[in-house]
Amino acid sequence: MKDKLIETYSPEETFELGRQIGQEAVPGSVFTLIGDLGTGKTVFTQGLAKGLGITEPVNSPTFTILQIYEEGRCPFYHFDVYRIGDISEMDEIGYEDCFYGDGVCLIEWADLIEEILPEHYTEIRISKDLEKGFDYRKIQIKEKLA
């Protein structure tokens, strides 16, 4: 994917962006999502899941770091590492099978586990700019290569 800057003005637009990216995502891709609480990481994730063909509801897993969806055209590994205490919790979950497997991974709050991110991933940063309205979001997409 090319590096991009997208501006959205509603949750629906952010969902739609996620859906398009999910539709084009190839198995083995890793997406990282970075942004403050309430910026729309989960809204984007729900769109991406839809794009993969998942119809069951996708939410932020509150007490589990990883939620796996098998319903789409490839496995979808949804991580939300907001509450991670120690990086060793990722080993316990068996994250490597997800990062280096044949599904699509998405990691909310990926900046908290930077040291174990794979060599290549797509970073998505979401931020607000209240001067542009309460529902405005700036979404920066960047290919990262070690």
Kindly list the residues in this chain that would bind Mg ion in the complex (CB under 5 A): 41-42, 60
CB-nearer residue toward ligand ADP: 60 or 73: 60
Count of residues engaged in binding ligand ADP, rule: CB under 6 A: 17
For residues 112 and 102, what is the distance between their CA atoms, to the nearest angstrom? 24
Cβ atoms within 10 Å, residue 113? 18
For residues 58 and 122, what is the distance between their CA atoms, to the nearest angstrom? 20
In the complex, minimum distance from the CB of residue 91 to ligand ADP, in angstroms, rounded to a whole number: 25
In the complex, minimum distance from the CB of residue 102 to Mg ion, in angstroms, rounded to a whole number: 25
In the complex, minimum distance from the CB of residue 54 to ligand ADP, in angstroms, rounded to a whole number: 16
User: Where do the H-state alpha helices sit in 1-146?
Assistant: 11-24, 41-51, 88-93, 95-99
Question: Binding ligand ADP by CB under 6 A: which of 26, 37, 145, 146?
Answer: 37
Beta strands 76-80; 104-108: pairing state:
parallel
CB-nearer residue toward ligand ADP: 50 or 137: 137
